[in-house]
Structure 1
């Protein structure tokens, strides 16, 4: 039954892609736990899944999406946009955190349906253009291919991207992949404005046999360490990690009951996020 459901979702998702179709991840269901769309703060929303965050930023000139989930999740993202009163055609920009199928698999279809431009780091864009297959990725032996993204814009670290009344800043945070990019912007409720960070994964995970302690992989360790320090230093009133925290569902429930004490606001969240990843890398090196 599990394989039958996965196949049905795959066929529906790939049909929606039309010309963007390519082989999809074989088991996307693990990433697609149901989660209702929610406004987190001001112009910032979640429109993704219980296992994968996809953010939406409402601007005066259209919508920005951050990440795109797996190919089979595109229909659900579009449904979530409709639930909160928007259309996929309102999306003008799509920002990439990393060129892996769980975060970038939906880009080709989302961009095709919206006409939006996908923006990524230079290293990330190189992999997005081929639909994965980066042999230097620590997880290369595990990774699934995904629909290639032909229409791309490259952003540099520190570059600001404006759409209408909103400015988003690119922060290179390589390590998990050498193309990883985090993004930050301000959202306001009345005169109270907060800095929101959508954090790329900092998880030091690798396929069997790939060792961070190998001198040949020193560039990944150096990249991680630089990213940890960068994330610790970011202005950060609210963190949206690309993979949700274990208590996200509980916080969404609390958010729906009372907006006076927003459970997602935490000025220490980015520092704690980096510190946890830093400890995980230390354990990997010890192993």
Structure 2
């Protein structure tokens, strides 16, 4: 009987793993993004639980935890494993927040929501895309000819710019930074350790990346959104910011900081980190605008 029970448990585990991979997304960078990454403490009650190329943060509290982002659909098992490796229970995650609704940051949320029973919250635009399970018209990366579809999320709490959400004493504030998507959102909160409280920023992507044919400078069917994009960059740069982690960890040198951290010096504490990311984002936007204008000039 014991052997049979062990066999059944093994089959159930295998079936669960297979189910977790059923909705896997395939892209040129996906395998690298989804490489395992051991979880670690960023500062105080803020923990990195994401994968190698896609961030996910856990903010822990006595009345439940808040998870930010879910990576790819195939990232969900690793994120859950990372949460549990730190000694926390997935069932104690009460709220899942989203930075933006592209499938590499929201694709794992449905599985994590089922495992935890948590409420999902995001900007109004992100809620629409998650309900569709794909990028929709108006998103710079919308491409109906090459659309990637992930599991839909029917019920999402819509969060407005400047709104604060809470789980017990945990309070996180949404800052809409449209540009990369119309619903892009940075999240801020405070974490404390040894009596020192720091302003934490989870920065959304500010990269002007799009499908072929989309112009941030506008065209006959889309408005020029460069002014609002610049405003988003400036908004991020002005946030109270002692610790910053971006949606793609490489944007803020997350693993370099981890490697250089010592018991006496937490390299994640970097006042000016938001300003530095904003300056780099501004340069990238300038390059994109110049490229678009040159391309339009050729077409005249």
The normalised TM-score by structure 2 is: 0.85
Name the CA distance, whole Å, in 2 between partners of 1:178 and 1:71: 22
Superposition pairs for residues 193-204 of structure 1, below 5 Å? 193-204=197-208
| Deviation sequence 1:47-95 (CA, Å, 0-9, x none) | 0012111000001211110000001111111110111001211110000
Superposition pairs for residues 181-192 of structure 1, below 5 Å? 181-192=185-196
Name the CA distance, whole Å, in 1 between partners of 2:204 and 2:89: 26
Shift of 1:198: 0.3
Name the CA distance, whole Å, in 1 between partners of 2:200 and 2:44: 10
Q: Out of 231, 244, 254, which is 2:260 matched to?
A: 254
- 1:119 alignment counterpart: 121
Q: Do the aligned partners of 1:24 and 1:145 also contact (CA within 8 Å) in 2?
A: no
Shift of 1:251: 1.8
Name the CA distance, whole Å, in 1 between partners of 2:97 and 2:224: 25
Name the CA distance, whole Å, in 1 between partners of 2:77 and 2:17: 7
Q: Out of 154, 162, 172, which is 1:158 matched to?
A: 162
Q: Do the aligned partners of 2:50 and 2:57 also contact (CA within 8 Å) in 1?
A: yes
Name the CA distance, whole Å, in 2 between partners of 1:14 and 1:93: 26
Which of the pair has more CA radius of gyration?
2
Q: Do the aligned partners of 2:218 and 2:224 also contact (CA within 8 Å) in 1?
A: no
Q: Out of 71, 74, 77, which is 2:73 matched to?
A: 71
Please tell me whether residue 242 in structure 1 is matched to residue 247 in structure 2: yes
Change (3 A) 1:134 1:13: farther
Shift of 1:248: 2.5
Q: Do the aligned partners of 1:170 and 1:184 also contact (CA within 8 Å) in 2?
A: yes
Structure 2 gap segments, 5+ residues each: 1-14, 292-300
Q: Secondary structure at the match of 2:60?
A: strand
Number of residues of Structure 1 aligned to a counterpart in Structure 2: 271
- 1:227 alignment counterpart: 232
Aligned-residue CA RMSD (Å): 1.8
Q: Secondary structure at the match of 2:112?
A: helix
Name the CA distance, whole Å, in 2 between partners of 1:250 and 1:275: 20
Shift of 1:13: 5.7
Q: Secondary structure at the match of 1:182?
A: strand
Name the CA distance, whole Å, in 2 between partners of 1:219 and 1:143: 24
Shift of 1:280: 0.8
Give the stretch that moved more between structures: 195-204 or 219-228. 219-228
Q: Out of 81, 93, 96, which is 1:94 matched to?
A: 96
Name the CA distance, whole Å, in 1 between partners of 2:283 and 2:223: 17
Shift of 1:143: 4.9
Q: Secondary structure at the match of 1:245?
A: helix
Shift of 1:165: 1.5
Structure 1 gap segments, 5+ residues each: 1-10
The normalised TM-score by structure 1 is: 0.89
- 1:167 alignment counterpart: 171
Shift of 1:14: 6.3
Give the stretch that moved more between structures: 220-229 or 262-271. 220-229
- 1:39 alignment counterpart: 41
- 2:53 alignment counterpart: 51
